[in-house]
């Protein structure tokens, strides 16, 4: 059945990152799944101001609010701002440098 969600109104509870991923100290993140099919999952994710590292999944995302950048392991920098559409690949090592609290909608393939 088709549905429509307002991702700006979805409550996302953030929790502190573990020390291994929290580069700047005090970083919190949270994610809520808003849809699921046989082949993909859709959700809303937030990241507080600060710097963290991650190992990515296959994902397409749209930034709803906030600003920052993702530094890729190959040296590329993805600038993040409202409306940015990005693509991440499974296994990529990333460094998230967030200047304004970030909220994005993501779509990921099932493992």
The answer to whether position 6 is within a domain reads no
Task: Express each pLDDT in 57-79 by its tens digit.
Answer: 999 999 999 999 999 999 999 99
Is residue 4 domain-resident? no
Burial class (CB in 10 A: 0-12, 13-18, 19+), 71: middle
The reply to whether 7 falls in a domain is no
Q: pLDDT tens across 31-42, in order?
A: 999 999 999 999
Alpha carbons 78 and 62: distance in angstroms, whole number: 12
Query: What CATH number has the domain bearing residue 20?
Result: 2.60.120.10
User: Whole-model pTM?
Assistant: 0.92
Q: Domain containing 46: what range?
A: 12-109
- Count structural domains, the chain: 1
Q: Tell me if 3 is assigned to some domain.
A: no
């Amino acid at each position: 059945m088709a549905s429509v969600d307002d991702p700006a109104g979805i409550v996302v509870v953030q929790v502190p990152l573990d020390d291994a991923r929290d580069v700047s100290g005090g970083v919190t993140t949270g994610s809520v799944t808003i849809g699921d099919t046989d082949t993909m999952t859709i959700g809303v994710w937030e990241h507080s101001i600060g710097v963290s590292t991650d190992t990515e999944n296959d994902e397409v995302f749209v930034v709803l609010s906030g600003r920052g950048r993702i530094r890729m392991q190959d040296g590329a920098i993805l600038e993040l701002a409202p409306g940015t559409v990005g693509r991440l690949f499974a296994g990529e090592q990333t460094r998230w440098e967030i200047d304004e609290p970030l909220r994005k909608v993501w779509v990921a393939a099932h493992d």
